[in-house]
Amino acid sequence: MSNCWTTIQDYGLRSIGIGERILPKTDITICEQVVLIGSGLIWNIYFGIIAVFFGFWFALMLAIGKNNKLAIFRNPSNSFIFLFRGSPLFIQFFFVYELFVLLPKIGVTLDFGFLSFSLQTHWLTKAWLGGLFVLFCNTAAYSAEIFYGAIRSVPSTELEAAEAFGITGWHKFWRIIWPSMLRLAWPSYTNEAIFLFHATALIFFTGFPAWRQSGDALYYANYFSDRTFNPFLPYPIVAAYFILVTLIIISIFGFANRYLNRHLDVEQRTQIKLSINLLR
């Protein structure tokens, strides 16, 4: 057991470059597999949290745009959503990576006259930023569709009541539509978040290379499966980790769901119903 403790010290933070550099090559123990794959999970959680957080706000903008009567707002939203929902995430990763590789390595200098700064484009070819960017766009597109549906199903009586009180414009949105929309969208959005978390497993399998063998959970699982020719241990370990995080996501989002529904009668409350998780 003490042996396993040293393994945790060596490999616990291996995926972010802290600890022992060299991965175990021979006599791979179960402990090493569990610890290293768990260490890779840090990346999945990082991608998941950041993409969901920023994607949420962008999705909201897209949904409002899609709901707008004016074509100049509606069409860009629609095309963005179609582009990212209509193509496989896998191809998006490849394409965007190649696109970022083509960007000049030294960075782009933006000159606004009064202010000029150089953008460091080479970070975009790294998974932590480039992969995140794709995930962000992808989740924004899928969530936007969910939010749009929720905006459309806000009860018209609520809107009429608001108008009767003279609440219009942005005020109407933030005070009336937004709370109802969020409440209606939340169960689907929970599934979206779970789904996005599962999609993080794709990043290191696509164009984005792992730097110094610091990859995500699946990257290490694949490493062990290649090394030991035994897929029956590492992949179930990944699966177990993902199920664990999925349960955590469900409980956090369930907590938020109760908060959003606190003003309603018990029968009227929306329930989170787990839908099947599918690939993109």
Partner 1 sequence: MFNTCIDPSSIEGFIWLICYLTTAKHFAFYFSFLVVLLLLIFAAPLSLLFGFIATAGVRSSIIPIRILAKGYIHMVRGIPDVVFFLFVPLALDQLFEFIRHKIICFEQSEPIWRGTDFVVCKAAKLPLSTADLWVHQLYAFILALIAFALVFGAFAGNVLSGAMSAVPKAQTETGMAFGFTKKQTFWRILVPQMWVYAIPGLSNLWMILIKATPLLFLLGVEDIVYWARELGGSKTSLYAYPHPDWRVYYFAGLLVFYLLMTWLSGKVLNRLQSKLSHGQATMAGRELQGYQG
- For binding to partner 1 (CB under 8 A), which residues are involved? 28, 82-83, 85-92, 94-95, 98-99, 101-102, 198-199, 201-202, 205, 218, 221-222, 225, 227-232, 235, 238-239, 242-243, 246-247, 274, 276-280
Q: Which residues fall within 8 angstroms of residue 133, CB to CB, at 6 or more apart?
A: 96, 124
Q: Which is nearer to partner 1, 121 or 222 (CB)?
A: 222
Q: Which is nearer to partner 1, 76 or 231 (CB)?
A: 231
Taking the complex as a whole, how short is the minimal distance between the CB of residue 27 and partner 1, in angstroms?
9
Q: List the structure tokens of 11.
A: 């490999």
Q: Which is nearer to partner 1, 54 or 90 (CB)?
A: 90
Q: Which is nearer to partner 1, 126 or 172 (CB)?
A: 126
Helix (H) or strand (E) segment spanning residue 91: helix 89-102
CA-wise closest residue to 218 among 196, 206, 202, 240: 202
Q: How many CA atoms lie within 13 A of 270 on its CB side?
A: 23
Q: Is 212 left (phi over 0), alpha (psi -120 to 50) or beta?
A: left
Taking the complex as a whole, how short is the minimal distance between the CB of residue 197 and partner 1, in angstroms?
8
Q: Which is nearer to partner 1, 109 or 230 (CB)?
A: 230
Taking the complex as a whole, how short is the minimal distance between the CB of residue 277 and partner 1, in angstroms?
6
Taking the complex as a whole, how short is the minimal distance between the CB of residue 229 and partner 1, in angstroms?
5
What is d(CA 118, CA 111) in angstroms, rounded to the nearest whole number? 8
Taking the complex as a whole, how short is the minimal distance between the CB of residue 230 and partner 1, in angstroms?
7
Residue 261, SS3?
coil
Q: Is 145 exposed, middle or buried (0-12, 13-18, 19+ CB in 10 A)?
A: buried
Other C-beta atoms lying within 10 Å of the C-beta of residue 51:
25
Q: List the structure tokens of 69.
A: 């009567």
Q: Which is nearer to partner 1, 87 or 168 (CB)?
A: 87
Taking the complex as a whole, how short is the minimal distance between the CB of residue 126 and partner 1, in angstroms?
17
